[in-house]
Amino acid sequence: MPAELTSALWIIFFALSGLLIGSFLNVCIYRLPAGLTIVRGRSFCPNCRHDLAASDLIPVLSYLLLGRRCRYCAAPIAARYMWVELLTGSYYALSAALTRPGSFEPPIWMNTAFYPATDFYFALLLQVTSVLAFSSFLVWAMILYDQKKANAGVIIFSLISASLRILLQPERLFSHLVAGLAVLTLSAVGLLRQNADSSPVAGFGSRLSLPIMLVASLLWLLL
């Protein structure tokens, strides 16, 4: 297969996965703060509680084709579900474009441990850890944005996926520092909210959580 075709398929595959995962992240953002499970249970309309069919759950398309309303009760669907899907799809595609096979050399420790670490599997590992870290940061930031407490499970997942990402490219020190700063800022915002619910600083911080996360994730990819 020609290299250009492989790259194009690689990017398209991750763009589509990003849209689907974005849809799952919406579920996490909605259910985790409410203490509901994310592994079981059909998706339902938050207004009429009607179970959603597969055709109601196609990322972005269902929202637009259904006229931005629930098929069963006609309640308007918030646009942010679509934005989370588009954002996730775009990040997955951008990250795929930057990490496509052959773009980076595996680190020395990996060549020693898994000799030979092939370009394809290294690119796959890089991409998977990159999008896992982004996905968990996004859920973390959105839960903060909704003015709810940070979720411990999401934070632990973020830290593990970010650490794996750092292990794969230890030489990109500056880039990792940016991500580290974002994690510290999000933690600080979370603590402020938890300890001072009515403080204006806390309100300001939760509105900033999404831009902080987005800018940091982009810089982490690009620097």
**CB of residue 159 vs Zn ion: minimum separation in angstroms?**
37
**CB of residue 127 vs Zn ion: minimum separation in angstroms?**
36
DSSP sequence for 182-196: HHHHHHHHHHHHHH-
| DSSP letter assigned to residue 137 | H
State the Rg of the chain over Cα: 19
Q: Which stretch binds Zn ion (CB under 5 A): 46-54, 149-157, 158-166, 179-187?
A: 46-54
Q: Applying CB under 5 A, does 44 fall inside the site for Zn ion?
A: no
Interface residue with Zn ion, options 72, 97, 104, 208 (CB under 5 A): 72
Whether the CB-CB separation of 100 and 49 falls below 8 Å is answered with no
d(CA 155, CA 143): 11
**CB of residue 111 vs Zn ion: minimum separation in angstroms?**
54
Per-residue CA distances from 109 to 82, 106, 173 (Å): 41, 8, 16
Q: Which stretch binds Zn ion (CB under 5 A): 16-24, 63-71, 114-122, 201-209?
A: 63-71
User: Using CB under 5 A as the criterion, what x/- string covers residues 96-135 for binding Zn ion?
Assistant: ----------------------------------------
HSE on the CB side for 149, CA within 13 Å?
Answer: 9
By CB under 5 A, the count of residues binding Zn ion is 6
SS3 content of the chain, % helix, strand, coil (to 5): 70, 0, 30
Amino acid in the structure at residue 125: L
d(CA 117, CA 168): 12
Q: Quick check: helix, strand or coil at residue 220?
A: helix
Q: Which stretch binds Zn ion (CB under 5 A): 24-32, 42-50, 102-110, 205-213?
A: 42-50
**CB of residue 175 vs Zn ion: minimum separation in angstroms?**
43
State which residue, 45 or 98, has the beta carbon closest to Zn ion: 45
d(CA 6, CA 61): 26
Q: Which stretch binds Zn ion (CB under 5 A): 2-10, 44-52, 83-91, 188-196?
A: 44-52
112: Cα separation from own chain's centroid: 31
Q: Applying CB under 5 A, does 66 fall inside the site for Zn ion?
A: no
Interface residue with Zn ion, options 3, 8, 36, 48 (CB under 5 A): 48
State which residue, 72 or 121, has the beta carbon closest to Zn ion: 72
Q: Applying CB under 5 A, does 77 fall inside the site for Zn ion?
A: no
Label residue 35 left, alpha or beta by phi (over 0 means left) and psi (-120 to 50 means alpha): left
Q: Applying CB under 5 A, does 73 fall inside the site for Zn ion?
A: yes
List interacting residues with Zn ion (CB under 5 A): 45, 47-48, 70, 72-73
